[in-house]
Structure 1
Amino acid sequence: MSYAAAAKSVGISVRTGERWRNGRGASGRIKAAPPVRALISSVAEPAPAAPSRYLGEADRIHIADRLREKATIRAIAAELGRSPSTISREIRRNRTVLADGRRYYRPHAAQRRADARRPRPKIGKIGQNPELHDFIQSHLALRWSPEQICHVLRRRFAHRPEMHVSHETIYQALYVQGRGELRRELTQALRTGRAIRRPRRQADRRRFHAVKNMVMISERPAEAADRAVPGHWEGDLILGRNKRSAIATLAERSTRYLMLVHLPDGYSSAAVRNALIATVKSLPPHLKRSLTWDQGTEMAAHHGFSIATNIPVYFCDPGSPWQRGSNENTNGLLRQYFPTGTDLSTHTPEHLQAVAGELNSRPRKTLDWETPAERLHKLLAA
């Protein structure tokens, strides 16, 4: 076809056809344009696409061919640019098992299985099992953590795998939109009460108040560090609205046993000293070995406490809450019962004792899923 006939068949003028063929330079407001040949070549030869996140049918055909050639999993993975675990998982999930027990990897059958599993959303394991759903929901209402629930399920239903779930499955059932397997208001029963974690306070913004005659934690007996010997306690305060009320908490390092101290007259150093003395007097002598506290001014009267109870007090380093890890974790659990920003002076000693009893009856991962009360009972019996 001649050049003029080609332009006419396309529906353009000869001059426009020349510009398409040769391109044009910039002139005034007219921008430069490349020749049409460059555009044709870029369309005819597209850049190679990045490998997909998922295996495709061509990948599965390659896997089947190489398996017939007795190639190793790692060799196949290297050829496809995949992880060896991706290839081994693909073969294990999508292989065909014949009636006589022989197993083959058939690429087209594997592709059909993968396509059938892909549609979303899916009903989770909790939504498919009413018994499992009710068990988890009832224990979340008791403020059990998802990890505690999943371990109790494995112990109580040891021979029923359909009743076994991971703690992440429970979190997904609570938080992921579209699942709807557990009531969303049960998130208030979780430790934080929320789905989004907030950033912690910055260490350089904390202010410290020196307490006189402190004995630092570095001088604490070595037996307290390994938690083998009971009787070493960690203590702190949880504060109420506008820091006008407080509850003192005592956590035993070996058993994680909790005692809550009522502070009806505020949390001055004298009030905290007298309340702690009254609380620990009920303990047997072998459970009164030491007390570790932070550098809060509420323990300014620590010397009088030690004289009255014969319990030495050790202080953590500034900005080092991990040195009282058991107590910090316990205070986090207590915020489910005493939310931040509420008036803590309204709680009676009887209510504090009931809350402590409920926490002491929860199984703990660090105690091999025994409760603090069970572990303390064993120690007292021994």
Structure 2
Amino acid sequence: MTFAEREDIAVRRAIGQSLRVIGAAVGRSASTISRELRRNNVPGSGYRATTAHALAYERASRPKPAKLHVNVELRAKVEKDFQKKYSPEQIAGRLKREFPGREEMWVSPETIYQSLYVQSRGALTQELTRYLRTGRGLRHPSRKTGQRKNRIPDMINISQRPAEVKDRAVPGHWEGDLIIGKGNQTAIGTLVERSTNYTMLVHLPNGYTAEKMRDALTVKIKTLPEALRGTLTWDQGVEMREWKKIALDAGIEIFFCDPHSPWQRGINENTNGLLRQYFPKGSDLGVHSEEDLNWVAAELNDRPRKRLSFEKPIEAIGKLLLQ
């Protein structure tokens, strides 16, 4: 059972769902859920994913040493990719692409996590956890934050967006938003191309009023070839009050998500989470130069992505530009 499954079980158990309902949700039988709760539970503290996962691994027998213990080449490769801020899933997927005929150089994401977090499995130093998106030294269930509720006049709703945008097969359709800095005083604009996950960052050194956003976003979009300026989907933030001028000057159609619907910009939301590794919440984003932002975007575009079969965004968009 994976850590993600145990997280889901813990949350559902806490809200009182039955074993049958929990099993259906995680794709396991009710008897498996019952056994999991019975065997990997600490009396008096309730079922917790982190504790349960550690207990399960401590109990499991390992007749052979773990790969990351004995394979020095593999361990060095994993450590190097961690320093590039690749996630365990990205590392595991990229290993299969780079070493297609060498199974000894393959390792699962969960094995990498266990090597970091479970002391008895620890071939990797726990200091590498700082390269994870969360930067946590301990595993915790993920939490979702609320979204802004601002609305702007005369916007065109996402429901009117061309049908070709939805399946991500046609390039040139973008999702955008802001990441906000300390005291809501500074921000960085983020743009992500839907078919390739290619990311661009918008420099906003003097604030993010509608006028400043209009000028900076227009300049950034116009760096793209016309063929890659299809649509842009944005949150309902007041920084986009000048959206009509942006659309006209940059030659791109602009649409707005429904309120409280971050999944309508799912790729952008995920990318903003990745960017928090570089721009922590509560930090002053105004101290970063445009060169800093371009460097971060380049590093992010060099990360392999699961949705692209662990191809990198820079590789994926490079094919489009050659065409």
TM-score in terms of structure 2 length = 0.77
Give the match for residue 196 of structure 1.
140
User: How far apart are the structure 1 equivalents of 2:199 and 2:247?
Assistant: 20
- The CA RMSD measured in Å over matched residues stands at 2.1
Give the match for residue 101 of structure 2.
159
User: How far apart are the structure 2 equivalents of 1:228 and 1:198?
Assistant: 30
- Structure 1 residue 148 displacement after superposition: 1.5
User: How far apart are the structure 2 equivalents of 1:161 and 1:197?
Assistant: 31
* Mapping 1:166-245, distance limit 5 Å: 166-194=108-136, 195-201=139-145, 208-245=149-186
Does the Cα contact within 8 Å between 1:230 and 1:253 map onto a contact in 2?
A: yes
Give the match for residue 364 of structure 1.
305
The 1:275/1:177 distance shift into structure 2, 3 A limit, reads same
- Structure 1 residue 217 displacement after superposition: 0.1
Does the Cα contact within 8 Å between 1:293 and 1:313 map onto a contact in 2?
A: yes
User: How far apart are the structure 2 equivalents of 1:213 and 1:264?
Assistant: 28
Q: Any idea what the Cα deviations from partners look like across 1:85-128, whole Å, max 9, x if unmatched?
A: xxxxxxxxxxxxxxxxxxxxxxxxxxxxxxxx976898532112
User: How far apart are the structure 2 equivalents of 1:263 and 1:145?
Assistant: 28
Q: What code does the residue aligned with 1:172 have?
A: Q
- Structure 1 residue 277 displacement after superposition: 0.6
Does the Cα contact within 8 Å between 1:157 and 1:163 map onto a contact in 2?
A: yes
Q: Any idea what the Cα deviations from partners look like across 1:222-277, whole Å, max 9, x if unmatched?
A: 11111121111100001111211110000011111111000011011111111001
User: How far apart are the structure 1 equivalents of 2:191 and 2:60?
Assistant: 51
2:233 corresponds to which of 292, 312, 326: 292
SS at match of 1:228: coil
User: How far apart are the structure 1 equivalents of 2:308 and 2:234?
Assistant: 23
2:199 aligned with 1:255, yes or no?
no
2:87 corresponds to which of 127, 145, 160: 145
Unaligned runs of 5+ in 1: 1-81, 84-116
Give the match for residue 72 of structure 2.
130
Give the match for residue 319 of structure 2.
378
Does the Cα contact within 8 Å between 1:121 and 1:178 map onto a contact in 2?
A: no
- Structure 1 residue 191 displacement after superposition: 1.6
User: How far apart are the structure 1 equivalents of 2:62 and 2:96?
Assistant: 28
User: How far apart are the structure 2 equivalents of 1:118 and 1:146?
Assistant: 22
The 1:193/1:271 distance shift into structure 2, 3 A limit, reads same
Q: What code does the residue aligned with 1:125 have?
A: K
- Structure 1 residue 283 displacement after superposition: 1.2
User: How far apart are the structure 1 equivalents of 2:63 and 2:270?
Assistant: 36
User: How far apart are the structure 2 equivalents of 1:219 and 1:305?
Assistant: 18
SS at match of 2:303: coil
Unaligned runs of 5+ in 2: 1-30, 33-58
* Mapping 1:290-369, distance limit 5 Å: 290-369=231-310
Does the Cα contact within 8 Å between 1:123 and 1:179 map onto a contact in 2?
A: no
SS at match of 1:282: coil
- Structure 1 residue 160 displacement after superposition: 2.7
User: How far apart are the structure 2 equivalents of 1:381 and 1:157?
Assistant: 27
Does the Cα contact within 8 Å between 2:199 and 2:301 map onto a contact in 1?
A: yes
Q: What code does the residue aligned with 1:250 have?
A: L
User: How far apart are the structure 2 equivalents of 1:227 and 1:158?
Assistant: 27
Size of the aligned set, in residue pairs, is 265
Q: What code does the residue aligned with 2:141 have?
A: R
The 1:120/1:156 distance shift into structure 2, 3 A limit, reads closer
Does the Cα contact within 8 Å between 1:249 and 1:331 map onto a contact in 2?
A: yes
SS at match of 1:251: strand
SS at match of 1:178: helix
The 1:134/1:271 distance shift into structure 2, 3 A limit, reads same
Larger RCO (CA within 8 A; separation ≥ 6): 2
Does the Cα contact within 8 Å between 2:187 and 2:204 map onto a contact in 1?
A: yes
Per mean C-alpha deviation after superposition, the further-off stretch among 304-313 and 235-244 is 304-313
Give the match for residue 277 of structure 1.
218
TM-score in terms of structure 1 length = 0.66
Does the Cα contact within 8 Å between 1:249 and 1:260 map onto a contact in 2?
A: yes
User: Which has the greater radius of gyration?
Assistant: 1
